[in-house]
Amino acid sequence: MSGLRFDRLRILVVDDNQHMRKLVVTILQAFGCTQIIEAIDGEHAWSVLNDANPDVILLDWQMAGMTGLEFVKKVRTDPASPNPFMPIIMLTGHTHINHVRMARDAGANEFLAKPVSVKAVLSRLMAVIEHPRPFVRSKSYFGPCRRRRPMDEYSGPERRANDDVAVLDDLPPRKQQ
């Protein structure tokens, strides 16, 4: 495993199901995470986001009030968002390919199917921390690049060539508390 210091990570776990929230928190604690903030829904998560200043958000899709998709879009596009580049891992029991695409198109960095496993949580955390994708801004999307394969493996037409798209390779520095 990498030399990542999980005790230095600040993680926001958002799920309206107390048992699922506790399961995810327990898994994170097993990795050595000590700075875990819990939120019971999207509105609560949004209200603590500035003060919590998390490094990563693990977020349930289906919640009363603000859904996980709405929360992701708000983090990515709302002018009041403290960090639109925040890594977000979407948790859901809805694993149909259309749900994966919707999460991706909302700006989620990773997708994690419920029930979660220790290995899957670790894999997604490592992906967003050690292998972050560049962010893309276009007229209709802001978030991590949706392409997962290296460009040298792609042989189709370059669809971005005609769009007004900016690829942001350098993430802004995190604000310190």
Alpha carbon distance 65, 62 (integer Å) = 9
What are the domain boundaries of the chain? 6-133
Tens of pLDDT, residues 95-105: 889 988 999 99
Which is higher by pLDDT, 147 or 80?
80
Q: So what's the pLDDT on residue 121?
A: 96
Which is higher by pLDDT, 88 or 149?
88
Measured CA to CA in angstroms, residue 155 lies from 121, 134, 151 at distances of 32, 20, 8
Pseudo-torsion of CA 30, 31, 33, 38, nearest 10°? -60
Tens of pLDDT, residues 110-165: 999 999 999 999 999 999 999 888 888 888 888 888 766 555 665 666 655 555 55
The answer to whether 93 and 39 are in contact (CB under 8 A) is no
For the chain, percent of residues with pLDDT exceeding 70: 81
Q: So what's the pLDDT on residue 15?
A: 96
In the sheet that 135-137 helps form, which strands lie side by side, from edge to edge? 142-144, 135-137, 166-168
Alpha carbon distance 12, 9 (integer Å) = 10
CA dihedral sign of residues 43, 55, 76, 174:
positive
Helix (H, G, I), strand (E, B) or coil at 132: coil
**CATH classification of 6-133, choosing from 3.30.930.10, 3.30.70.100, 3.40.50.2300, 1.10.10.10?**
3.40.50.2300
